């Protein structure tokens, strides 16, 4: 049985820990910071560092108001979406009181094949990366940065959110697309749809649609997310 896949970041293991978090989105090639303070996730950090494991970021299927475990046995853990993104520890700082300040760099999306028993309180999965091989390659056609910024400006005016569009013009198109997808105040199901977009071009179309909802009929058509994404 194949238990790893090669990437530009080295071999990706089949089994690794996951960090469930509602509304958090990590995309390949992008970074996200975390403050790790719960004991179970301190344990996760210790094991990931010792075994050189990636950490998967994945949303609970039913949004959670906080990141606390449900009381009782592991069978009561919140169900997870089947698709998440594996991240490499780009930066890791351990504080004197045992907390961790980390930055994850997205490597590749994965599909959960099965969830394994809890290990020292944190969750682990067996996952496959094969269908997301394109995550480790640059897109043939980069996103249209100017169109994204125009849609962002309209979104900001409509929702009374100020964006420094002028400074964003210096960003490269792909980091701009990923950064907006990760940071804008979309719902968890919309963020999951952005994560699961088949490729960069489809993610761009979806982001433009989300930005254009109820703003300007000249932007791409309205997007209604499905009730569930498996």
pLDDT number for residue 227: 35
**pLDDT tens for residues 51-98?**
999 999 999 988 765 555 555 544 578 999 999 999 999 999 999 999
State how far the Cα of 41 lies from the Cα of 19, in Å rounded to an integer.
8
Q: Span 153-182, mean pLDDT?
A: 93
Alpha helix stretches (DSSP H) within the chain: 39-51, 145-159, 165-168, 173-183, 188-196, 200-212
| Exposure class string for 89-114: b at 16+ Cβ within 10 A, else e | beeeeeeeeebbebebbbbbbbbbee
Q: Which of 166, 138, 157 is nearest to 211 (CA)?
A: 157
In the structure, what pLDDT confidence band is assigned to residue 13 with cuts at 50, 70 and 90?
A: very high
Does the pLDDT of residue 1 top 50, yes or no? no
User: What is the percentage of the chain residues whose pLDDT exceeds 90?
Assistant: 73
User: What is the percentage of the chain residues whose pLDDT exceeds 70?
Assistant: 83
Does the pLDDT of residue 225 top 90, yes or no? no
> What's the predicted TM-score (pTM) here?
0.83
**pLDDT tens for residues 20-39?**
999 999 999 999 999 999 99
In the structure, what pLDDT confidence band is assigned to residue 121 with cuts at 50, 70 and 90?
A: very high
CA 84 vs CA 15, 25, 41, 48, 216: distances in Å: 13, 9, 18, 17, 32
Say if CB 106 and CB 26 are below 8 A apart.
yes
Q: Which of 67, 70, 76 is nearest to 23 (CA)?
A: 67
Q: Give the list of residues 6+ apart from residue 49 with CB closer than 8 angstroms, or none.
A: 89, 92
CATH 2.40.128.720: does it fit domain 4-136? Answer: no
Does the pLDDT of residue 158 top 50, yes or no? yes
């Amino acid at each position: 049985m194949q238990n790893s896949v090669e990437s530009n970041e080295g071999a990706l293991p089949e089994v690794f820990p996951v960090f469930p978090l509602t509304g958090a989105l990590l995309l390949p090639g992008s970074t996200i910071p975390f403050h790790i303070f719960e004991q179970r996730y301190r344990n996760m950090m210790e094991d990931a560092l010792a075994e050189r494991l990636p950490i998967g970021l994945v949303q609970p299927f039913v949004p959670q108001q906080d990141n606390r475990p449900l009381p009782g046995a592991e069978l009561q853990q919140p169900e997870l979406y089947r698709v998440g993104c594996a991240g490499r520890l780009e930066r890791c700082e351990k504080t004197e009181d045992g907390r961790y300040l980390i930055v994850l760099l997205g490597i590749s999306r994965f599909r959960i094949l099965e969830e394994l028993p809890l290990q020292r309180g944190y969750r682990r999965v067996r996952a496959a990366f094969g269908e997301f091989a394109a995550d480790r390659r640059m897109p043939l056609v980069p996103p249209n940065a100017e169109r994204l910024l125009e849609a962002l400006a309209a979104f900001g005016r409509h929702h009374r959110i100020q964006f420094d569009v002028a400074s964003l013009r210096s960003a490269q198109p792909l980091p701009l697309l990923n950064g907006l997808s990760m940071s804008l105040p979309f719902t968890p199901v919309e963020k999951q749809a952005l994560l699961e977009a088949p490729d960069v071009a489809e993610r761009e179309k979806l982001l433009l649609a989300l930005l254009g909802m109820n703003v300007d009929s000249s932007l791409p058509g309205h997007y209604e997310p499905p009730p569930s994404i498996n």
